[in-house]
Amino acid sequence: MESPPRTLAARARLFSFTLACAIVLTAIPISVSAELPHENFELVGSDLEMVIALLNSSIRASENALRQFYEEDVPEANQHLSMASGILTPASQILTEIRDLAESYENLSSLLPPFLQLQGQMGEWSSKEESLLVMRDDIVTASQLANLTDEDLIAAIAAIRTVHSLIISMNRTIDNMLVSADAISALTVDADHVFVPNELRPLIEKLRELLQLILAEIEALIQDEIPWGLDPTGQERAFVLLWLADSQLYLGEPIIGGGYLYYNGSFRSSQSVHVLMNSSELMTVMTGLMGSFSFVQQVPINASWLGSHVLVATATTPFVNLTSDPASLSIVLIPSTIWIKADKTLLSIDETVTLSGTLVDVYGDPIQDGSCRLVMDSSTVNLTTSETGEFERSWTAQELWFGVHQVKAFYDPELPYAPSESNSVEITVSIPTVMTFRLFSEKFRPGYYIVGNGSLMANTSDPLAGQTVTIYIDGIMIQNVTTVEGGEFAIAILVGELERGTHTIRAAFQFRDSMWRYSEAEETFIITSLKPTKYPFFPFFPGWEGGPLDRFPYLFFGENAYYTWLFVLIVIAILVKAVQVRRVQKRLSKEQTVLSEGSSIDVFEEDIITEALAAGEKMFDSLLSHSPADPNGRIIWYYNSLITFLTRKRRISITDSMTHWEVARLLKSLGFPGENVERVTVLFEQALYSGSVLNDLDSISMSVAMDALRGRKAGGGAPAG
């Protein structure tokens, strides 16, 4: 009986997800079947398919993480998130290889950023949701108390402040995740939207519903469950609570806040609350039906608003004037980032260098019409950024002249942005030089000189005379030599105390004027030495002292005796093997003589094979009789039993280092039925890696497919009897 049919989409999702996980865990290259047309497909086709499969697997893992976030299972969500992030590493490596192989695929570098941004934003959500759930638990704990001590009151108010701040921050994170999800869906490869359909957007939107549910639950606890009324002394409480969404804002952003007003045993509605900043009234708001209030105050782009501020809420009641605990707020300039790069950093005197730069704010958005300064050595050039926040400036090498030049960009402060300075770029203008160097020998002995010569040329052909060339051996400076007419130089260095073995000698044009470009050349050499030693073989060879009879014992005893014993062991092994072959030949000759008339050697061999297969069948059935009870374990047991059978009885070379898909390809190449091979492999993969719970029908399907493989001979033969 075969397993129930699966839908094509479900099978594709399962296959791609399992495939990607296998790659991340085992680093074994596997390709998928879908082909994408492209002029260089023969070069990078399989790698491109792999990248798409990996990124789609990352989407599936991200979707699972979002589902677990909605279920408030943050640890489980983090596991899926970790898997989604891990899959991006091999995808990035393959994309780099593709870009190096086929330049027309350079646009694929735009594939990864939306995935990386989404993973970062989901990581932020994970941390915030974890904090939100902790604060909710604190509020629940406060609601279960008979009355609140002063410490309990402070803790409950702090938890309420944190909850409201987190809710606003998490809504912002949702907005950012939606932007990344839409960017992923819009990605194309060869004009195909290869990452749709997906469920990222609806799952992210559903997180807003989770925030609304949590906020409604917490509001109910605040209004109805927490015993605000009396303090431990029996006195009625009255307070005004103020919370702010952010403790730090950039100039020009809105101040978002709110709070609660409580007196005379209940939260009071339709009451005026004054919000003060630095003791000056910022605004007046009215409480709502449940005694809560909220406000939004846009911070103007004005330098007077920069710095630290203290906000409080005040309210007048028939009984007492109330003032909230202070809330701190810092308003700063929007950070900016400027960076520069040069199209080349090493120039000849007839070349031109172009320096380009980009100016963005803390959100990565370009800053238009920004006033920037390029400082090249001691000269300054003023530039203004374009709509895309970019600027550019070129210099000829003759303008800069020979030497090393440092250039850096600066962005001067302009409200609401903070100043910034770029990285430093070093540009060198010099005349190219070429160093050649060679040794007269590759081997030198102690007491001898290391002898060699070389040449130093400018522009590959103009000799440089009177220049200093520095000689290094194994990175240690040995001497300086001076080039003569024709740019040539020579060395003669005593071997001295150099150790035996391989060494590196390098000639470097290090001490030079700034107009000359650095160049070097190196060679390797070996220090050898001779010492008296016994000849390792027979005594009549040259190098032995005395006559053959005097030196004969050294063949079996002495520092080189192992050569003799090794030779003796080889001879013994050859003799033993020859005897074994001779005995086998005699036994086969006897068996041939007892064959009945008309029988052939082919029939005799077939009988032996049939008996071996029958023994294999018994061994296989014995293994299967001890299989586990659960379907997943049984399928894994079946698969291992099949591998044992094929290896031992069918003599198929299956090694431990092979993956299940490599085994499948081997079996197909040997003529085993492809459908049964794929079914066995897929069921084994689902049972071991996917985490799915399989059923008895899957187990039966595995058994049927295995029976077909057991009856199949490698090489395409007919099923065994």
pLDDT, residue 626, reads: 61
Calculated CA dihedral for residues 10, 11, 14, 19, nearest 10 degrees? -150
Provide the pLDDT confidence category of residue 100 given band limits of 50, 70 and 90.
Answer: low
Does the pTM surpass 0.75? The reply is no
pLDDT, residue 560, reads: 66
Q: Calculate mean pLDDT across residues 646-661.
A: 82
Please, what is the end-to-end C-alpha distance for the chain in angstroms? 21
| Each residue's pLDDT tens digit, 502-547 | 999 999 999 999 899 999 999 999 998 755 445 454 444 444 455 5
User: H-helix or E-strand containing 304?
Assistant: none
DSSP letters for 42-83: HHHHHHHHHHHHHHHHHHHHHHHHHHHHHTT-HHHHHHHHHH
pLDDT, residue 99, reads: 61
Peptide bond into 4 cis (omega under 30): no
pLDDT beyond 50 at 12: no
**At 59, phi and psi to the nearest 5?**
-65, -45
pLDDT, residue 625, reads: 57
For β-strands 346-347 and 425-429, DSSP reports them as parallel
pLDDT, residue 674, reads: 86
Specify whether the CB–CB gap between 342 and 395 falls below 8 A. no
pLDDT, residue 662, reads: 87
Distances (CA, A) of 16 to 9, 22, 509, 572: 11, 10, 56, 57
Q: Calculate mean pLDDT across residues 547-555.
A: 61
Cα angle 24, 652, 679; round to 5: 55
pLDDT beyond 90 at 69: yes
The number of angstroms, rounded, from the C-alpha of 368 to the middle of its chain's C-alpha atoms is 34
Q: Calculate mean pLDDT across residues 381-392.
A: 95
pLDDT, residue 664, reads: 87
Of 641, 620, 633, which is closest to residue 698 (Cα–Cα)? 633
pLDDT, residue 16, reads: 44
Q: Using CA of residue 91, residue 94, residue 98, residue 100, what is the dihedral sign? A: positive
pLDDT, residue 591, reads: 57
Identify the weakest region by mean pLDDT among 55-59, 625-629, 639-643: 625-629
pLDDT beyond 50 at 590: yes
Specify whether the CB–CB gap between 439 and 523 falls below 8 A. yes
| Each residue's pLDDT tens digit, 390-440 | 999 999 999 999 999 999 999 998 899 999 999 999 999 999 999 999 999
Identify the weakest region by mean pLDDT among 239-243, 476-480, 640-644: 640-644
Give the C-alpha separation, 442 to 152, whole Å. Answer: 84
| Each residue's pLDDT tens digit, 296-311 | 999 999 999 999 999 9
pLDDT beyond 80 at 38: no
Residue 258 vs residue 673, higher pLDDT: 258
Characterize 563-595 residue by residue with b for buried, 16 or more Cβ atoms within 10 angstroms of its Cβ, and e for exposed: ebeeeeeeeeeeeeeeeeeeeeeeeeeeeeeee
pLDDT beyond 60 at 73: yes
Give the C-alpha separation, 344 to 426, whole Å. Answer: 10
Give the C-alpha separation, 79 to 173, whole Å. Answer: 20
pLDDT, residue 26, reads: 35
Provide the pLDDT confidence category of residue 601 given band limits of 50, 70 and 90.
Answer: very low
Q: What is the DSSP letter of 466?
A: S
Residues 6+ apart with CB under 8 A from 532: none
Q: Which two tokens stand for residue 510?
A: 């290090």
Give the C-alpha separation, 571 to 552, whole Å. Answer: 20
| Each residue's pLDDT tens digit, 128-167 | 999 999 999 999 999 998 888 888 888 999 999 999 999 9
Provide the pLDDT confidence category of residue 194 given band limits of 50, 70 and 90.
Answer: confident
pLDDT beyond 80 at 46: no
Name the packing angle between helices 8-26 and 674-685 (round to 10°).
70
Identify the weakest region by mean pLDDT among 103-107, 320-324, 344-348: 103-107
Of 391, 402, 386, which is closest to residue 354 (Cα–Cα)? 391
pLDDT beyond 60 at 620: no
Provide the pLDDT confidence category of residue 43 given band limits of 50, 70 and 90.
Answer: very low
Provide the pLDDT confidence category of residue 618 given band limits of 50, 70 and 90.
Answer: low
Provide the pLDDT confidence category of residue 42 given band limits of 50, 70 and 90.
Answer: very low
Identify the weakest region by mean pLDDT among 132-141, 275-284, 377-386, 618-627: 618-627
3-state SS, residue 185: helix
For β-strands 443-444 and 449-458, DSSP reports them as unpaired
Distances (CA, A) of 465 to 190, 455, 487: 58, 9, 5
pLDDT beyond 60 at 40: no
Residue 129 vs residue 112, higher pLDDT: 129
pLDDT, residue 585, reads: 79
Domains of the chain: 31-225 (no CATH), 239-332 (2.60.40.10), 336-429 (2.60.40.1930), 433-527 (2.60.40.1930), 603-710 (no CATH)
pLDDT beyond 70 at 328: yes
Q: Calculate mean pLDDT across residues 36-57.
A: 65
Q: Calculate mean pLDDT across residues 629-654.
A: 84
Residue 553 vs residue 277, higher pLDDT: 277
pLDDT, residue 39, reads: 44
pLDDT, residue 549, reads: 56
Identify the weakest region by mean pLDDT among 25-39, 96-110, 132-146, 337-351: 25-39
Characterize 12-46 residue by residue with b for buried, 16 or more Cβ atoms within 10 angstroms of its Cβ, and e for exposed: bebbbbbbbbbbbeeeeebebeeeeebeeeeebbe
